[in-house]
Chain A
């Protein structure tokens, strides 16, 4: 076959050969192998592991940047360059699941030999086609992918919204931090793919986070913690006192955070955020990326703790306010979305298994967990933490033992009190169990038409717990990470 014919066939097949210009990426794009703890949330004492391979980008300074997915619970990270050959031991030096970014390094000097740092784009033009680069079967593959739009989405591991580049491609198996290239620079890293839409964390966002981290001033991602709705109904805007053309988004819910005086109020009409006028769809006109949801203004040049200026119409009067961006924390939700700062916690007492109610537990029902997990447990996700009940604990299971006869079927019940003490955390459970009343432990569940209370013999509890540990092969009766340790191991460590 002649070379022109081969080229023609390749082009027809949509497969572009790696040109010499693109071949330089061989020296910047590496493979990252991550072995991570893939917890079994129904038996939280089990710690199975799994391995995945993704991509990383050499950015200089003996640092590889990649997405944070799978890295927060890693047990082993290795790097490979050139798509084949030797694997080099590596370690994660920084990650932030909210930003969905991580930095990896290797202490083996040989690994860095021959690598060339890639340049992260400062801005990305709209309506351009991109090249997606990935290692496949030991060869660097470069495929053209089509620009779709810039949008604002939650992160893969976070509720904090950020700018997202959407690409259109029928390529399969994407979302493993494959770099997307444009004009000799990196435009972003893929984070996920659904249908033909591939989501990319754009390079300007990556730069913003990495530069803050390099300066030692990365406080974490900020976000808008209020809920708003579009101001598309002119009658509603008029009711709120707006004169003239329709504009603005309506604040409908402001969280009641302990110790925080909210500056926004429900039924404030949000007219401007960070100097940008807000339209009735809740969008602003971004000078670089077009119309975007106002949520993007929480991360466009801002991080947690930054002040964002807002102009609202309140009681018919325009008012300027200063909104301080709260830091995105998983425990901001009553049912946390993730818990990367510690392994799943549990307390087993007399065969009763207590666990925190969090989304990883709900995801234990599999990919279809939103349909399969018990509705009542899922509905707690719509609740808000309060000072009295910042989080929830559930009786997740009962490991049958003579001491718990009669309760073997009890499960998935959220605990209200134990021995009269209100229960929000597993530490509360441990404390409450130290104080039985009248020789028994009384466990009370949240009000409803399910089981309301059960009672266990206090004198035989410790012995029963030891029996359960032996019989069911548990490593320990409980695993609770100290609060101080949780903060220390949080993603934004340097």
Chain B
């Protein structure tokens, strides 16, 4: 009986607190009109799409929201609480790796009377939170209440290949809630950002740690991103392995299984080093650290510092502990394997042949979530080559995406969806190599070799060069390249 009374009291206090501060006045409705490029026909774009999201005012007369709310935006309109007027906004910063963005509003009067919300700390598991935003299903602001279910490192769906700290809550987070604040005691303890299909009563928000890192990052006027050290840390729980390395079975220390070639830690750590501490936090044998009463992957500690800074590690090597200071850096090598935003895809059209970088976005255009026999080489190149064969990896693998029909290319058997290996004997590591290899050929036919079993094709040099402007005109393409 006592506990029930207490629960009601806490709920009332929460509601009263919310009303007293009126944080909803600082919650912004965002309407985005976006247009995504077609990665297999990179000069074209999809239809303009309208989508809604949320945001809130922070210090400096700015709005923070999710990067996915404003991705590929052509126009962004923002509306204040119970104010029918739309205001034009623009993206000041987009942190696609952490799914956060900062908006500025062209009319400064937009912020008149709006108080910036303040950030709190990482909420405790089981504590109550309120989400606030403009989800689908209505036009007015919506509140949902829940508790913090757990705090863990999660895959951020917007970049697709980044794992950062996230908080799970049972407060409903629906489309349109994205970018809205998650409040506790009138302070922002998170930015609502994603759900997981198939999971009921589970939404996720970005915690203050990630938000503060983003805000600090942009203090220098540009966004750099979340760094990492390139260490593949795996659990060290097998008794024989621990004995072999001279470690007691005390549940401390995770093993360095591999180091990313060229990564910051490559020359500082070794395979079978055991990481005992990261930034002063003891590392468990499962690779986690106790961070504010939550056991989370130790990888988050490399994400608490900015690009170029260092993280101190205590490492067990040759049966004794040593201290190692590891610099961290933003890794761009897997950029194409993640989702890309806001920068239109590069391409080069020559004689009707469309060359463009191989990317996850391009692979999606093939209409398959899993590779088939014809796209297997592409999947391998994008997702596996770099880690399995770093010496053979290309900085920007290039595909012959499609062939725009023209008499000059009519006899080509290969009509696209293949990885380009060499052109005129030049290995193709990036799109610029294509332009150079085609440009340097002065006599004979162009010889284009494809990776895998796709053989090669020859293209008449003069006819294809002459065909390029005709192809552009026929297909309504304004430029033969975007490099």
Q: Chain A residues in contact with chain B, CB under 8 A?
A: 227, 229-230, 232-236, 238-239, 250, 252-253, 370-371, 375-376, 378-379, 382, 403-407, 438-440, 446-449, 451-457, 460
Contacts and interface: CB of A to CB of B under 8 A. Distances in A.
A452 B231 CA distance: 13
- Top 5 A-B pairs ranked by shortest CB distance? A457-B240, A406-B237, A406-B238, A252-B455, A236-B458
18 contacts: A227-B453, A232-B411, A233-B457, A236-B456, A238-B445, A239-B447, A252-B455, A375-B376, A375-B379, A382-B452, A405-B237, A406-B238, A440-B241, A446-B388, A449-B258, A449-B387, A452-B257, A455-B241
Contacts of A230: 413
B22 to A, nearest CB: 49
A235 B240 contact: no
Given A382-B377, A449-B258, A455 B388 contact: no
B244 interface: yes
B63 to A, nearest CB: 37
B280 to A, nearest CB: 26
Given A451-B234, A456-B240, A229 B413 contact: yes
B17 interface: no
B186 to A, nearest CB: 43
Given A233-B412, A375-B370, A382-B377, A406 B235 contact: yes
B411 A235 contact: yes
A229 B258 contact: no
Interface of B: 232, 234-241, 243-244, 257-258, 271-272, 370-373, 376-377, 379-380, 384, 387-389, 411-413, 444-445, 447, 452-453, 455-460
Given A236-B457, A447-B387, A452-B271, A379 B258 contact: no
B266 to A, nearest CB: 14
Given A233-B457, A239-B458, A405 B238 contact: yes
B371 A375 contact: yes
B106 to A, nearest CB: 45
Nearest to A250: B455
A47 to B, nearest CB: 31
A239 B446 CA distance: 9
A371 B370 contact: yes
A405 B239 contact: yes
Nearest to B258: A452
B380 A379 contact: yes
Given A232-B413, A234-B411, A252-B455, A455 B376 contact: no
Contacts of A454: 238, 241
A378 B384 CA distance: 13
B387 A448 contact: yes
Contacts of B234: 451
Contacts of A405: 237-239
A461 to B, nearest CB: 9
Given A239-B444, A239-B447, A404 B238 contact: yes
Given A235-B460, A447-B388, A449-B258, A253 B453 contact: yes
Given A379-B380, A448-B384, A448-B387, A453 B257 contact: yes
B455 A229 contact: yes
A253 B370 CA distance: 26
Given A252-B456, A440-B240, A457-B243, 19 more contacts: A229-B455, A232-B411, A232-B413, A233-B412, A235-B445, A238-B458, A253-B453, A375-B376, A376-B384, A379-B380, A382-B452, A382-B453, A406-B236, A446-B388, A453-B272, A454-B238, A456-B240, A457-B239, A457-B240
Nearest to A251: B455
Contacts of B258: 449, 452
A233 B240 contact: no
Contacts of B232: 449, 452
Contact of B244 (A371, A439, A451): A439
B370 A451 contact: no
A335 to B, nearest CB: 13
Nearest to B334: A449
Given A233-B457, A371-B370, A451 B257 contact: yes
Nearest to A455: B241
Contacts of A453: 257, 271-272
A438 B245 CA distance: 11
Contacts of B244: 438-440, 455
Nearest to A453: B257
Contacts of A455: 238, 240-241, 244
A239 B445 contact: yes
A9 B288 CA distance: 77
A408 B376 CA distance: 29
A177 to B, nearest CB: 28
B19 to A, nearest CB: 49
A360 to B, nearest CB: 18
Contacts of A439: 244
Contacts of A233: 411-413, 457-458
Given A229-B413, A371-B370, A235 B237 contact: no
